[in-house]
Structure 1
Amino acid sequence: MRTSPPTTRVLQVLDHLVAAGGRRFGLSQLARELDLSKPTCLGILTAMTDGGYLLRDPVTKTYGLGPALITAGRVAQEGFTAAGLARPLLEELAERYSCVCSASAVVGDQIVVLERTGPGVAGQRYPFAPPVGLMYVLWGPDAEFERWLAKPPTLPVKLNRGRLRQVVAECRERGYLVESLTLAGVRLHSLLAGVAAYELPAEVRDLVGQMVSNLGERFYLAEDLAPRKKQPVNFIAAPTFNATGAQELVLTLSVGTTITGAEIARRGQALTDVAAKVTASVGG
């Protein structure tokens, strides 16, 4: 696949400013943090400012996001009505459990976070290929699950297909997925956020691959979720469906600690209730 280095540099600047959550940057700081030459960085900033995508403060000579992005964002969001409807419900859930909740979906060949409560911003992207993405095909047709499973993995990963299919069957019946909390899993998501993992140096991919456990073992089965048994949980995920019955969004509720099976069930039911409301609101 051909890429355009100049376009990549523009996206670098835009992603950096979005991730900064409203902070403003001077030319020298941006060039240094993005490893760009000052002339190259200045050319990008000037063009984006002229187009209204950035604003330059004439006093501090710093750059921030501009009004043209508001229009672009509104148009883009119209294609993801369910995510907007999910936000107030996720905010209530986040307040109840003092956690971060999100709504995400597959857009093209990437997973995109469309809504997020708490720290951080929406817009994070992840490659849609093993070991990331099971929950986006879990509640869909078996053919979609098989297509995802057949994708070249972004990182080396063991595939215990028997256990993975058991996870799929149980989660379809239960209505939600529970991922275990491991340092490797947390670091994996941090690495893959906004990164083209296929382009990582081979030695880095192999090293990270060694951190990742068997894909099926990252998720709990019913036997692991006895009411009094405690388990370290990263997050719980549940699907919403559109008017055609296809899986549309994945809603997640972060946990990040050890809780009992009974508490997992309570939070899982609360999340599936929110997902059901979102589904109903879009005629799903």
Structure 2
Amino acid sequence: MPRPALAASRAIDILNFMAAAPLRGYSLTELVRQLDLNPASCHALLGAMTRDGYLVRAQRGRVYRLGPALIAIGHAALQCHPVVAAARNQIALLSAELDMDSLLTARLDDRLIALASEGPGRLPGLAVGQRVPLIPPLGTPFLAWANDREVDSWLAKAAGAIDADRLRQSLAMVRQRGYAVTQRSPEQAATGLAVLGMAEEPLAGEWQKRVAERIGQMGEDYLMIEAQPDRLHPVMMISAPVFGDDGAVLCTLSLYGFDRPLPLSRIAALGEAIARHCRAASAIPGEPDKQINEVGRG
């Protein structure tokens, strides 16, 4: 049997892997190959997780899927984080109000994770459970209110050449507006394809490396800094932060799936609408929510 600490780590890897593509089922052979696990240890872990309801095994095809015990755990986790739970409700209201796709994202140390999504699904986006690295130029709504040490650490993780002053300027603009705007570009489109590919191979090293490389190639032009009022802007996403009681950013609400360029006035109206829903979520008392940004920090 594997060592207890190692077994726990492997079990977490299995759950994270399957959560990133929850509609798929995985055989023992696939999990062993994708996660580089010992076959005997993996078989023992799958058996234990299936007995406790964390996984279910289909007799036909002999594949494993996420089990019902995780639903109860998810509901319990939302009770621990009432502001995040409120934000989850707000993206549903936001999508219904604007008839657009919306996304709830949280920070897990040096990664971003999609917690929930709503909307008509006109364009593909990050799937719930998927994670992407928190490296420039991604994550400005989380970093705009961070301290200098956190910002410096974020800048140091860039996967390509960056203009640090330009990125700092973008953070200041996010603080000033109260929301972040990212622009659609060929580089962003290539990154989107790489991220969507991770839905098939959620933790595969090849995809992770490709995503990081693509993000690094997006550059500072991905961020809308100087917006010209007399032109249309090809918007990728508009995001605003949800704050906890201590002023830290707990999560972000985003709109995406824009099928045409937008004038600055429309961008501002959408940004204000998102910020309004974020304020509604932040108004929920939620002391335990302070702990969400400590995930992964030991």
TM range (shorter): 0.7 to 0.9
Structure 1 counterpart of 2:115 = 114
Structure 2 counterpart of 1:53 = 54
Q: Answer yes or no: is 1:138 the counterpart of 2:144.
A: yes
1:67-125 CA distance string (max 9 Å, x none): 22223323433343222101222112213333221222222332222222245752222
* Alignment check: 8 A CA contact 1:139 1:239 kept: no
Structure 2 counterpart of 1:213 = 218
Q: Distance in 2 between matches of 1:206 and 1:128?
A: 9
1:104-151 CA distance string (max 9 Å, x none): 2222332222222245752222223334322211133344323322x3
1:178-237 CA distance string (max 9 Å, x none): 001123224335546655879966xx689647x7132x321112x4241x4211111001
Q: Answer yes or no: is 1:188 the counterpart of 2:194.
A: no
Gaps of 5+ in 2: 288-298
User: Secondary structure of the residue that 1:256 maps to in structure 2?
Assistant: coil
Count of residues in correspondence between the two structures: 272
Q: Distance in 1 between matches of 2:154 and 2:11?
A: 30
Q: TM-score, normalised by structure 2?
A: 0.74
* Alignment check: 8 A CA contact 2:95 2:101 kept: yes
State the Cα distance separating 1:270 from its structure 2 match.
0.6
Identity %: 28
Q: Name the aligned partner's letter for residue 125 of structure 1.
A: R
63 and 144 in structure 1: CA distance in 2 versus 1, 3 angstrom threshold: closer
* Alignment check: 8 A CA contact 1:127 1:197 kept: no
User: Secondary structure of the residue that 1:159 maps to in structure 2?
Assistant: coil
61 and 76 in structure 1: CA distance in 2 versus 1, 3 angstrom threshold: same
- The structure 1 residue matched to 2:132, chosen from 126, 131, 155, is 126
Alignment of 1:210-249 (within 5 A): 212-214=217-219, 216-221=220-225, 223-226=226-229, 228-249=230-251
Q: TM-score, normalised by structure 1?
A: 0.77
Q: Answer yes or no: is 1:152 the counterpart of 2:157.
A: yes
141 and 10 in structure 1: CA distance in 2 versus 1, 3 angstrom threshold: closer
Q: Distance in 2 between matches of 1:187 and 1:82?
A: 34
Alignment of 1:1-284 (within 5 A): 10-11=11-12, 13-24=14-25, 42-58=43-59, 61-118=62-119, 121-149=127-155, 151-153=156-158, 155-156=159-160, 158-188=161-191, 191=194, 195=203, 208=214, 212-214=217-219, 216-221=220-225, 223-226=226-229, 228-257=230-259, 258-282=261-285
Q: Distance in 2 between matches of 1:43 and 1:275?
A: 44
User: Secondary structure of the residue that 1:282 maps to in structure 2?
Assistant: coil
